[in-house]
């Protein structure tokens, strides 16, 4: 009997360790029509970065709204506070902040030269210094001038003396425009892995004790934005005939190990 009980205890412990799994800790299914949930999202405002052409607006239905259980971020050609275009950039900073986990976002990017949608993460507190020293994780980037390509990248200070290095990959095997794709990032204390529709396309790992190459041991927040033009998105110009452009996000789900 004692041997049987010991066997049972060992079996249960082993089974429990193997069955450790991710559990959902935060999500937005975008099921309530109207403006995005202010308990989960804030907005970047203005002409923020990269010489982009759009003015990011706040709580403006024309640029960010929920319709038919989908978040729509829309870039429009219109005069607005000195800019010729408007769009939106939603951030979860101090409302959704995480260290490690599995991040799953189902989204559909717009076509059109000049469009630059992204799903990405920045540190909630820049504990290693200004960008890129505290890191950046691009879960997905897309530029309309390269209509078949998706990009997955990590940015950090690096050790080559330039002050900025990156590790990234791309794929053209999943034409992303006109259809929804599920993007997944798995972030552990030692590795980043990028997936699209369940297929792994890139991974990055580095010495976890060196923040120059691994600043990814701090808390990060998420950004959903649709830029237009700029240092990358506008390298081949823009095509205003494709506007308004719409970036559709079906859901955002965040999991961590139980």
String of DSSP letters for 37-85: -TTT-EE--BS-STTBSEEEPSS-TTTEEEETTEEEEEEEEEEETTEEE
In CATH, what number does 22-257 get?
2.60.120.200
Could you tell me which residues come within 8 angstroms of residue 23 by beta carbon, excluding any fewer than 6 positions away? 255, 256, 257, 258
Instruction: List, for residues 165-201, the tens digit of each pLDDT value.
Output: 999 999 998 888 889 999 999 999 999 999 999 999 9
Q: Which pLDDT score, from 0 to 100, does residue 177 have?
A: 85
Q: How far apart are CA 86 and CA 75, in angstroms?
A: 6
Q: Which pLDDT score, from 0 to 100, does residue 70 have?
A: 98
Say which of 52, 74, 104, 141 is annotated catalytic: 141
Residue with tokens 């892995």: 193
Work out whether the CA dihedral 48, 141, 77, 221 comes out positive or negative.
negative
- Asked whether the beta carbons of 54 and 46 are under 8 A apart, the reply is no
- Asked whether the beta carbons of 241 and 115 are under 8 A apart, the reply is no
Establish whether 136 is a catalytic residue.
Answer: yes
Q: How far apart are CA 85 and CA 147, in angstroms?
A: 22
| 3-class secondary-structure state, position 205 | coil
| 3-class secondary-structure state, position 204 | strand
Q: Which pLDDT score, from 0 to 100, does residue 181 have?
A: 97
Q: Which pLDDT score, from 0 to 100, does residue 12 have?
A: 46
Average confidence (pLDDT) per 10 residues, the chain, 258 residues: 47 50 97 98 98 98 98 98 98 98 98 97 98 98 96 98 97 89 98 97 96 98 98 97 98 96
The DSSP 8-state label assigned to residue 89 in this structure reads E
- Closest C-alpha to 164, from 172, 152, 156: 156
Q: How far apart are CA 257 and CA 25, in angstroms?
A: 9
Residue 109 CB coordination number (10 Å): 28
Say which of 52, 74, 104, 136 is annotated catalytic: 136
Q: Which pLDDT score, from 0 to 100, does residue 15 have?
A: 46
CA distances from 204 to 100, 152, 192, 193 (A): 14, 10, 5, 7
| 3-class secondary-structure state, position 9 | helix
Q: Which pLDDT score, from 0 to 100, does residue 19 have?
A: 63
Establish whether 141 is a catalytic residue.
Answer: yes
- Asked whether the beta carbons of 56 and 116 are under 8 A apart, the reply is no
């Amino acid at each position: 009997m004692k041997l049987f009980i010991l066997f049972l205890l060992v079996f249960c412990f082993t089974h429990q360790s193997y069955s450790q799994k991710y559990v959902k800790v935060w999500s937005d299914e975008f099921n309530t029509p109207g403006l995005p949930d202010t308990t989960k999202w804030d907005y970047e405002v203005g002409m923020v970065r990269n010489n982009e052409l759009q003015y990011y607006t706040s709580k403006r239905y024309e640029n960010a709204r929920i319709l038919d259980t989908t978040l729509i971020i829309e870039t429009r050609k219109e005069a607005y506070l000195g800019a010729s275009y408007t769009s939106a950039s939603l951030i979860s900073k101090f409302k959704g902040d995480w260290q490690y986990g599995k991040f799953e976002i189902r989204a559909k990017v717009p076509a059109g030269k000049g469009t630059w949608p992204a799903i990405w993460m920045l540190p909630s507190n820049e504990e290693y210094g200004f960008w890129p020293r505290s890191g950046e994780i691009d879960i997905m980037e897309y530029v309309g001038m390269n209509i078949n390509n998706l990009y997955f990248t990590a940015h950090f200070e690096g050790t080559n003396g330039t002050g900025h290095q990156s590790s990234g990959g791309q794929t053209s095997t999943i034409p992303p425009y006109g259809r929804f794709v599920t993007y997944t990032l798995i972030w552990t204390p030692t590795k980043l892995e990028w997936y699209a529709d369940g297929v792994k396309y890139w991974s990055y790992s580095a010495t976890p004790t060196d923040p120059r190459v691994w600043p990814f041991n701090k808390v990060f927040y998420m950004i959903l934005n649709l830029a237009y033009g700029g240092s990358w998105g506008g390298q081949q110009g823009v095509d205003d005939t494709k506007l308004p452009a719409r970036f559709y996000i079906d859901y955002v789900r965040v999991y961590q190990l139980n």
